[in-house]
Structure 1
Amino acid sequence: MDTLEQARAEIDAVDAQLAALFERRMAAVLSVAQYKQAHGLPIFDAAREAVVLEKAAARIQNAALRPYYKDHVQNMMDVAKQYEAEVLGRNRAAYQGVEGAFAHIALRALFPHAEAVSYPTWDEVFDAVSRGDTAHGVVPFENSHAGDVSAVLDLCYNHPELWVVDVYDLPISQNLLVLPGTQLAQLKHVYSHQQAIAQSETFLKQFRLPATAMPNTAMAAKFVAESGDPSKAAIASAETAALYGLEVLVPSINTDGDNTTRFIVLSREKPTVGNRFSLLFTLDNKPGKLAEVIQVIGRFGYDMESIKSRPLPHVPFDYYFYVELVGDPSADETAALLRELDHTCRTVRLLGVYTK
């Protein structure tokens, strides 16, 4: 090309061809979606996706361009999956709370085109995904300041039919929300989720403000707004303040300036692609069994990013364990690791596969 104008004209001409090809491709995607609907097949087919990506890369003559084209095809397949989900009526995602809750904010970031479906409790989110009422569920898993959301980990353990297919780290800024015109001296009580209260403990102690836990930060904001009582305040996001007609009296009251909550995405469809995977296991109550598991993981060369333990339901003084490992879950070494852990542990199962 001799000039910038000529190059841009060439790009425009190619884009016009791509637009027509895109419509043609999406028509074929629609046919695939209708077939899957008729035969009860899942939207995501990991094996098929891997084959398509490899074929796509092989078509590009210029080796330097292959990874870019592979990313382009991956993006097209992601769009196709969104379209299939919408066509099949599966483009719904569950969260706990009401609009404006941190889980709702995370859901919108993860699934901008999905219908967000609210449930009162985490249990009901898990049940909705399990029944197939929604394709996904978004729930908090841990916070950088307050630690694990133990109830969610217990629900993961109690729902072996569900998988963790993605994670999302949401920076959290907890704000003190009040009715318009309220002064700090008027406040007598604060309402929020237990995690938000824990994250704002230093501020609450400083101003001697008692706090009551509610199921959700956004529910707390809604309660304060509907109460009309200037002695009440909520701890929640600035987005929630705008939704319910409240003011941010004091911004960023959380103790940890780098406050982040990690959300997990639940699905009935087993994932296979990622650079992290998580396991749940139980052990016989014998000396050295946990050390043996850690040694097995180390021998296979996996970096263990997290390990947690929780009491087993209805079994006094017995525990289950959660570990997150760095590595390719589809590698032969992972299959070998799981086989060896199957001999070492009383029970072991793959919980999640995702990319971080």
Structure 2
Amino acid sequence: MSKIYFQGTYGAYSHLASLEIDAKAEIIPCKTFDECFLNASNEKNSRIVIPESNRITGNIGIEYLIFKYRLNIYSEHFQKIEHNLLGQKGAKLTDIKNVFSHAQALSQCSNFIKKNNLNEHVRADTAGSAEMIAKNKKRDEAAIASSLSAETYGLEIIKKNIENEKGNLTRFLVMGKELTQPEFSNKKYITSFLFKLKSKPAALYQSLGGFAINGVNLTKLQSYPEKNSFDSFFFLCDLDGHIEDKKVQKSLEELGLHCQDFHVLGVFEADPIRDKKL
């Protein structure tokens, strides 16, 4: 049986995403993102399911681990995020005074929290908050978490879908040590890579010219400082297309002339949800 590692505890949105990706896999929680990456680096047949960005609140902040471990990206998965207020069995909304969750979940439900005058408490993750209030058994405490967390820890859903905006999605990356990529055919692909430019004036401007000339669309370009540095940056980039497409090849060859470091992270099919209007 293949393994999937995720960060958090059972009932987390990463657990929910892992079940949707491969319900037959052995799904194992890790305390930290670093632990997830380390396990996948040491085990050939394992995968990790890692949240990369949220549609509303932006990046999750795991870019430095992508740069450090350089695991292969096999696919992307967009998980619908539906936040629920979870409490003790029989508790009502009027009983709740204190709400616990991850900082992003609290931010994504800020309107509901303010409207009901709740005291918010930041915790490491959503499912861990649900587990904590289940152990505390206090009627005035609630957690913001998934419906899976309610099932996992025997809590009641006091209020469903309390997020500020509907259609909230988190993009997850499925990654592992083995290098694989789909054959080039008539489908929509994403090529993901990282690069570090040579230190020279206008390096970024010059390096991106090849994409414009060859008509290749960049869907993501983000810079991150190297460890212990404020003057050396690497870039994470996604583009529309397969690396075997001649337009993409020419663009990347042009980019390579300006790079000190270049690494392809993965080629994978674009999730069909990208084409849907939510």
> Are residue 246 (structure 1) and residue 160 (structure 2) matched?
no
Q: Which runs of 5+ in 1 are unaligned?
A: 1-85
> Are residue 156 (structure 1) and residue 66 (structure 2) matched?
yes
The equivalent of 2:46 in structure 1 is 135
Q: Secondary structure at the match of 1:117?
A: strand
The equivalent of 1:301 in structure 2 is 215
The equivalent of 2:252 in structure 1 is 338
Q: Secondary structure at the match of 2:208?
A: helix
Q: Taking structure 1 as reference, are residues 288 and 208 closer, same or farther at Cα in structure 2, changes over 3 Å only? A: farther
**Superposition TM-score, scaled by structure 1 size:** 0.70
The equivalent of 1:270 in structure 2 is 179
> Are residue 104 (structure 1) and residue 2 (structure 2) matched?
no
Bigger CA radius of gyration: 1
Q: Which runs of 5+ in 2 are unaligned?
A: 271-278
Q: Which moved more, 1:175-184 or 1:137-146?
A: 175-184
Distance 2:155 2:44 in 1: 33
Q: Give the residue type in structure 1 aligned to 2:214.
A: F
Q: CA deviation at 1:124?
A: 0.5
Distance 2:63 2:165 in 1: 23
Which structure shows the higher helix fraction? 1
Can you list the C-alpha shifts for 1:143-201, whole angstroms capped at 9, x where unaligned? Answer: 11111111x122101112x1111110011101111111223233232111222122112
Can you list the C-alpha shifts for 1:278-329, whole angstroms capped at 9, x where unaligned? Answer: 1112234544322223222222221111222222221024322111101112
The equivalent of 1:328 in structure 2 is 242
> Are residue 190 (structure 1) and residue 99 (structure 2) matched?
yes
Q: CA deviation at 1:133?
A: 7.0
**Superposition TM-score, scaled by structure 2 size:** 0.89
Distance 2:231 2:164 in 1: 33
Q: Which has the bigger relative contact order, CA under 8 A and spacing at least 6?
A: 2
Can you list the C-alpha shifts for 1:191-228, whole angstroms capped at 9, x where unaligned? Answer: 11222122112222333323223222111111111111
The equivalent of 2:194 in structure 1 is 280
The equivalent of 1:234 in structure 2 is 143
Q: Give the residue type in structure 2 aligned to 1:202.
A: N
Give RMSD over aligned pairs. 1.8
- Contact preservation (8 Å) 1:174, 1:251: yes
The equivalent of 2:133 in structure 1 is 224
Q: Give the residue type in structure 2 aligned to 1:231.
A: D
The equivalent of 1:76 in structure 2 is none
Q: CA deviation at 1:92?
A: 1.0
Structural mapping, 1:19-34, within 5 Å: none
- Contact preservation (8 Å) 1:121, 1:215: no
The equivalent of 2:55 in structure 1 is 144
Distance 2:129 2:267 in 1: 34
Q: Give the residue type in structure 2 aligned to 1:193.
A: H
Distance 1:328 1:251 in 2: 40
- Contact preservation (8 Å) 1:94, 1:134: no
The equivalent of 1:113 in structure 2 is 24
Distance 1:190 1:279 in 2: 39
Which structure shows the higher strand fraction? 2
- Contact preservation (8 Å) 1:271, 1:354: no
Distance 1:288 1:194 in 2: 37
Can you list the C-alpha shifts for 1:65-121, whole angstroms capped at 9, x where unaligned? Answer: xxxxxxxxxxxxxxxxxxxxx4xxxx1111112221111111111112111111111
Q: Taking structure 1 as reference, are residues 104 and 133 closer, same or farther at Cα in structure 2, changes over 3 Å only? A: farther
Q: Give the residue type in structure 1 aligned to 2:257.
A: H
Q: Taking structure 1 as reference, are residues 310 and 211 closer, same or farther at Cα in structure 2, changes over 3 Å only? A: farther
The equivalent of 1:78 in structure 2 is none
Q: Which moved more, 1:185-194 or 1:162-171?
A: 185-194
Q: Give the residue type in structure 1 aligned to 2:132.
A: F
Can you list the C-alpha shifts for 1:225-246, whole angstroms capped at 9, x where unaligned? Answer: 1111112111111121122111
The equivalent of 2:33 in structure 1 is 122
Q: Taking structure 1 as reference, are residues 233 and 133 closer, same or farther at Cα in structure 2, changes over 3 Å only? A: farther
Distance 1:189 1:266 in 2: 37
Q: Secondary structure at the match of 1:177?
A: strand
Q: Taking structure 1 as reference, are residues 271 and 332 closer, same or farther at Cα in structure 2, changes over 3 Å only? A: farther
Of 199, 205, 209 in structure 1, the residue corresponding to residue 114 of structure 2 is: 205
The equivalent of 1:47 in structure 2 is none
User: Aligned pair count?
Assistant: 265
- Contact preservation (8 Å) 1:272, 1:329: no
Q: Secondary structure at the match of 1:346?
A: strand
